[in-house]
Amino acid sequence: MNHDSPKIPQATAKRLPLYYRFIQNLHSSGKQRVSSAELSEAVKVDSATIRRDFSYFGALGKKGYGYNVSYLLSFFRKTLDQDEITNVALIGVGNLGTAFLNYNFMKNNNTKIQIAFDVDEEKVGTVIGDVPIYHLDELEERLDLKEVPVAILTVPSSAAQGITDRLAEAQIKGILNFTPARLNVPPTIRVHHIDLAVELQSLVYFLKNYPDASDEKSE
């Protein structure tokens, strides 16, 4: 926990990894300073929002000069604890799970999938993207939650709550839930829920009701 970080709005916090990635790109390309308008163009967030987000962290830039890229980079690296890797378990090695294993967040990230679980005997004992796959029966035995505090849940909906209960019992800290199931967890466990069907439905709703996308500035 960063005791020196102020409490910032959740919406701002969600944009930080995005800012960080683009500031890395700018830095790699040798750029030394950047305006909020340029950042806005790159990350597709309107520049007023960027300035407001950055204001929570104190004076990161100067009017008329923009932001110093190296300073931003070191600031975001510290804020996002990029130097410390968080290990992640993946539960459910279907198509979506396999996509995660192959991708494994290698670039520009502070997270690494270390271990995976499935019930399919053809998958158990294999390795995908350097990650070993164990049988779900061995979850409690294999998963050291001191080392791996986060799980990605890519199992069938019907299995989600049962596995969540086992993770909760073992005192997992966070779950990234890709099943349509809403999970019941103790208040100490943080669940972020990404429902792909809802995301698609939401896009369709916006297309029907706000057909002119240019009415809005941010995604």
What residues from 125 to 154 belong to the interface with a second copy (CB under 8 A)? 149-150, 152
Member of 111, 142, 145, 161 binding a second copy (CB under 8 A)? 111
Task: Answer yes or no: is 95 a known binding residue.
Answer: yes
Amino acid letter, residue 123: K
The continuous run of DSSP H or E covering 43 comes out as: helix 36-43
Shorter beta-carbon distance to a second copy: residue 156 or 162: 156
Rounded to an integer, what distance in angstroms lies between the CA atom of residue 153 and that of residue 160? Answer: 7
Residue nearer to a second copy on the CB measure, 62 or 194: 194
The verdict on 119 binding a second copy (CB under 8 A) reads: no
User: Does residue 30 have a known ligand-binding role?
Assistant: no
- Complex with a second copy: residue 81 or 137, whichever CB lies closer: 81
- Closest contact distance (angstroms) between CB of 146 and a second copy is 14
> Does 191 interact with a second copy (rule: CB under 8 A)?
yes
| Nearer Cβ to a second copy (71/210) | 210
Is 209 among the annotated ligand-binding positions? Answer: no
Sheet-wide strand order for 66-68: 33-34, 66-68, 61-62
Q: Which of 30, 58, 64, 211 binds a second copy (CB under 8 A)?
A: 211
Query: Least distance (Å) from a second copy to the CB of residue 158?
Result: 12
Q: Is 28 in the site for a second copy (CB under 8 A)?
A: no
Q: Does 165 bind a second copy (CB under 8 A)?
A: no
Closest CB 217 distance from a second copy, rounded Å = 10
Rounded-to-integer distance, Cα 107 and Cα 181, Å:
30
Footprint (CB under 8 A) of a second copy, residues 39-98: 42-44, 80-81, 86, 88, 94-96, 98
12-20 CB contacts, 8 Å cutoff, 24+ apart: 12/52, 12/53, 12/56, 15/43, 15/45, 15/49, 15/53, 16/53, 16/76, 16/79, 16/80, 17/80, 18/43, 18/45, 19/43, 19/50, 19/53, 19/72, 19/76, 20/76, 20/77, 20/80, 20/82, 20/108
129 is in an annotated binding site: no
Return the number of the residue (62 or 205) whose C-beta is nearest a second copy.
205
Residue 39's Cβ-count burial label (10 Å; 0-12, 13-18, 19+) is: buried
d(CA 211, CA 219): 14
Extract the annotated binding site.
92-97
